[in-house]
Chain A
Amino acid sequence: MSILVFVEHHDDELQKGSLGVLAKAASLGGDVDAVLIGGSVKSLAPKVGAKKVYVVEDASLDPPLPQPRVDVIAQLAPEYDAVFFANSVLAADIAAGLAARLDAGLNWDLVDITNDFVGKRPALQDSVLVDVGWRSTPRLALFRAGSFDAPASGGSTPAVEDVTVELSEHSRAAKVVGQELEQASGPSIEDAEIIVAGGRGLGAPENFTLAEELAKALGGAVGATRAVVDAGWYPYAAQIGQTGKTVSPKLYVALGISGAIQHKVGMQSSNTIVAINKDPNAPIFEFSDLGVVGDVHEIVPKLTELINARK
């Protein structure tokens, strides 16, 4: 059995999610190789715990765009029984492009896989666990963020193989013309013991004061969903979820948050989850310890008042 793992990096850091998937692949008992793609990635190769690491290094591969990476992996993948990806914005687009290029099956959102390639996928707001399979090779698999822990150390020193690749015309068409990377400023919500998070259900940016006042009363920090961050209601540094922070506070209070999978992966290991949502069918209730069906504008001010009164 042979598996190729796409190892994602950012600046000089290998992504923990990729390393976790690499460790999972190794535990299945076959040969595991990895591929590192970027503008300057050679120095990262020794840190990848695989049998062999393909290094594909070129200035044109520096921007984090999927299509050039499809060209690269399409060259390597046909030799393998499976190609594994830790889900990310970049990895999902690569995996889907590869599926079309190779006419290869892609299963996504997997949380586990057996050594005879049966993938485990929670579906329909995680209300059912589906066993999924592939009908051809290479089997393409995207694993849900945070499914596997990254090993503490990298393991054995891999053999490094340089690969060159010719990019297709359409793969070179998109260009990254600007980047706004997150600035680390202020206390990190990752360390907060209590988080009050707000979503689009707050209704307007100014209503975030509801979340802020409740957070203050509880002695906690404020978090947000991508929907409100993308809309400019709250800063990216406060975002929780797949493309934001992963948190596991003692208490997580969700105000007007639907509970999309990509939000859930960032907060599901919270000790106690309380959700207020006016839609009784909101998915967040499926993983809340206390679900309150109601209007945040009615409930939250009273709640803040009651908590302040206890002090």
Chain B
Amino acid sequence: MKIAVCVKHVPEGASKIDPATKRLDRSREGALNHFDANAVEEALRLKGDGDTEVVVISMGPEAAGDSLRKALAMGADRALLVSDDAAAGSDLVATSKVLAKALEREGADLALFGQQASDADGAVLWGAVAERLRRPVISQAAELSLAGETVHVKRQTEFGYDVIEAPLPAVVAVSDAINEPRYPSLKGIMGAKKKPSETVTLADLGLDAGDAGDAGSKTEVLALGNPPARGDSRKIEGDADAAQAIVDFLAEKRLV
């Protein structure tokens, strides 16, 4: 059995858009998208002590290797990075094309995604990737189990919970409540450096430069503006008088 986990390298801390390129400023330190740590953890849980292989896949700049290494340190077996200047600025159509090719190459039984990329908040990519792979997809998984060749998922919608099953190979996106991701151990961190890790280009996946990046994208950012101003907002720090400060605020607003 092979499980592939798609993970994104995202800028750490509060994100900014570069006004010149209208793209996310990716010049700062990045980290593994924390929602994807839940997907890695779920793959490791399913693997248990079995001989399942867990492959982590990312499309991004070379620095995305750091996030893949973190996933390896958590316990994944192998990493695949798709890195190509021509892939920068890919939208959903383009990113899904590239990741579908990478997943096709791996031929995993189960492809896992995180709940959302914290820099894009799309929470949509799996739907597009599954369609390109022509595989069943289940999103927002709060519980996941495998029974033979079938994946079972419990997930929340606007109306309550659904239990959905699908035959493998399948694509599943997990919610951030599905588990508590482990922290990599020192041994895991040391071991990660020795695990197989491969970097490929678009051409290696049989894609042209026109399939990805700006050229392969069907949406664009036209302008950046300021959101509507919000009202007064106060912030206080420090625990000592915080409770009293809240009561004073509520009293001022006639809420207590």
- Is A272 an interface residue, CB under 8 A from the partner? yes
Task: Check if A182 sits within 8 Å of B159, measured CB to CB.
Answer: yes
Task: Check if A107 sits within 8 Å of B219, measured CB to CB.
Answer: yes
Given contacts A96-B125, A174-B164, A179-B161, contact A289 B234 (CB under 8 A): yes
- Is A299 an interface residue, CB under 8 A from the partner? yes
Binding-face segment, B40-48, B62-70, B76-84, B88-96: B88-96
- Is B86 an interface residue, CB under 8 A from the partner? no
- Is B204 an interface residue, CB under 8 A from the partner? no
Task: Check if B236 sits within 8 Å of A293, measured CB to CB.
Answer: yes
Binding-face segment, A26-34, A76-84, A85-93, A157-165: A85-93
Task: Check if B218 sits within 8 Å of A135, measured CB to CB.
Answer: yes
- Is B157 an interface residue, CB under 8 A from the partner? yes
* Residue of B124, B178, B224, B233 touching A289 (CB-CB under 8 A): B233
- Considering only residues 74-127 of chain B, those with a C-beta below 8 Å from chain A are 91-93, 96-97, 100, 119, 121-127
- Is A59 an interface residue, CB under 8 A from the partner? no
The CA of A226 and the CA of B116, in the complex, are separated in Å by 14
Contact bitstring A127-141, B, C-beta under 8 A = 1, else 0: 111111111100000
B159 surroundings in chain A (CB, below 8 A): 10, 181-182
- Is A307 an interface residue, CB under 8 A from the partner? yes
- Considering only residues 74-116 of chain A, those with a C-beta below 8 Å from chain B are 88-90, 92-101, 103-109
The CA of A303 and the CA of B233, in the complex, are separated in Å by 20
- Is A1 an interface residue, CB under 8 A from the partner? no
Q: Place the interface of chain B in its size category.
A: 35 or more
- Is B206 an interface residue, CB under 8 A from the partner? no
A88 surroundings in chain B (CB, below 8 A): 157-158
- Is B239 an interface residue, CB under 8 A from the partner? yes
Given contacts A280-B237, A292-B246, A293-B237, contact A236 B161 (CB under 8 A): yes
Most chain A CB inside 10 Å of its own CB: which residue of B131, B225, B230, B235 = B131
- Is A176 an interface residue, CB under 8 A from the partner? yes
Task: Check if A180 sits within 8 Å of B160, measured CB to CB.
Answer: yes
Q: How far is the CB of B177 from chain A (nearest CB, A)?
A: 3
Task: Check if A302 sits within 8 Å of B160, measured CB to CB.
Answer: no
Task: Check if B137 sits within 8 Å of A303, measured CB to CB.
Answer: no
- Is B20 an interface residue, CB under 8 A from the partner? no
Given contacts A92-B123, A177-B165, contact A99 B17 (CB under 8 A): no
How many cross-chain pairs have Cβ atoms below 8 Å apart between A and B?
Answer: 279
Task: Check if A122 sits within 8 Å of B227, measured CB to CB.
Answer: yes
B224 surroundings in chain A (CB, below 8 A): 128-131
Task: Check if A310 sits within 8 Å of B125, measured CB to CB.
Answer: no
Task: Check if B225 sits within 8 Å of A231, measured CB to CB.
Answer: no
Task: Check if B131 sits within 8 Å of A133, measured CB to CB.
Answer: no
Task: Check if A124 sits within 8 Å of B15, measured CB to CB.
Answer: yes
The CA of A132 and the CA of B23, in the complex, are separated in Å by 12
Given contacts A99-B93, A101-B131, contact A136 B218 (CB under 8 A): yes
* Residue of A70, A93, A228, A229 touching B139 (CB-CB under 8 A): A93
A97 surroundings in chain B (CB, below 8 A): 127-128, 130-131, 137
Task: Check if B139 sits within 8 Å of A170, measured CB to CB.
Answer: no
- Is A190 an interface residue, CB under 8 A from the partner? no
In terms of DSSP, what is the predominant structure of the interface of chain B? mixed
- Is B36 an interface residue, CB under 8 A from the partner? no
Task: Check if A94 sits within 8 Å of B156, measured CB to CB.
Answer: no
A15 surroundings in chain B (CB, below 8 A): 158
Q: How far is the CB of A120 from chain B (nearest CB, A)?
A: 9
* Residue of A66, A251, A291 touching B127 (CB-CB under 8 A): A66
The CA of A150 and the CA of B100, in the complex, are separated in Å by 38
Task: Check if B219 sits within 8 Å of A105, measured CB to CB.
Answer: yes
The CA of A10 and the CA of B160, in the complex, are separated in Å by 11
Given contacts A129-B224, A303-B246, contact A96 B239 (CB under 8 A): no
The CA of A180 and the CA of B237, in the complex, are separated in Å by 42
Q: How far is the CB of B101 from chain A (nearest CB, A)?
A: 12
- Considering only residues 153-169 of chain B, those with a C-beta below 8 Å from chain A are 155-167
Task: Check if B225 sits within 8 Å of A128, measured CB to CB.
Answer: yes
B121 surroundings in chain A (CB, below 8 A): 109, 123, 261
- Is B27 an interface residue, CB under 8 A from the partner? no
Given contacts A177-B164, A226-B156, A291-B234, contact A299 B218 (CB under 8 A): no
Which 7 A/B pairs are nearest by Cβ-Cβ distance? A96-B127, A105-B218, A230-B177, A178-B163, A302-B243, A105-B219, A173-B136
B positions within 8 Å CB-CB of A: 13-17, 91-93, 96-97, 100, 119, 121-132, 134-140, 142, 152, 155-167, 170, 175-178, 217-228, 230-239, 242-247, 249-250, 253, 255-256
18 CB contacts below 8 A, A to B, read A65-B164, A89-B140, A89-B158, A96-B124, A99-B128, A101-B131, A128-B225, A129-B224, A132-B220, A173-B170, A174-B164, A229-B156, A231-B142, A272-B255, A286-B230, A290-B246, A307-B256, A310-B256
- Knowing that A105-B219, A135-B220, A293-B235 touch, tell me 12 more A-B residue pairs with CB under 8 angstroms: A67-B130, A97-B128, A97-B137, A105-B217, A106-B92, A124-B17, A176-B162, A230-B142, A261-B121, A276-B242, A285-B233, A305-B243
